[in-house]
Amino acid sequence: RGNPEIDANKDLFFEEAVAQTALGDVDAAFKALKTYWAANPNRQQGMVENPGWEFQALTTDPRWQRVVP
């Protein structure tokens, strides 16, 4: 997952969330997204409104709507 010198914006957590979503591990995907959004709050609203193909599978989970700031 790197350290602040390698991944200051915690972008690797975004990549982890994509992978976990593809693997069907919704809980792990939300955990990774929570960490990513904590470091990048300006990305949260846009991702929730337009999840793209990467997170389409998460949009049916009630947690998806609860993450809107």
What's the token pair of residue 28?
A: 């792990």
Q: Tens digit of pLDDT for each residue in 11-51?
A: 999 999 999 999 999 999 999 999 999 999 998 888 888 99
CA distances (Å), origin 17, targets 29, 31, 54: 4, 8, 9
Tell me the pTM: 0.88
- Can you give the length of the chain in residues? 69
What local confidence, expressed as pLDDT, does residue 40 receive? 92
pLDDT at 69 over 60: no
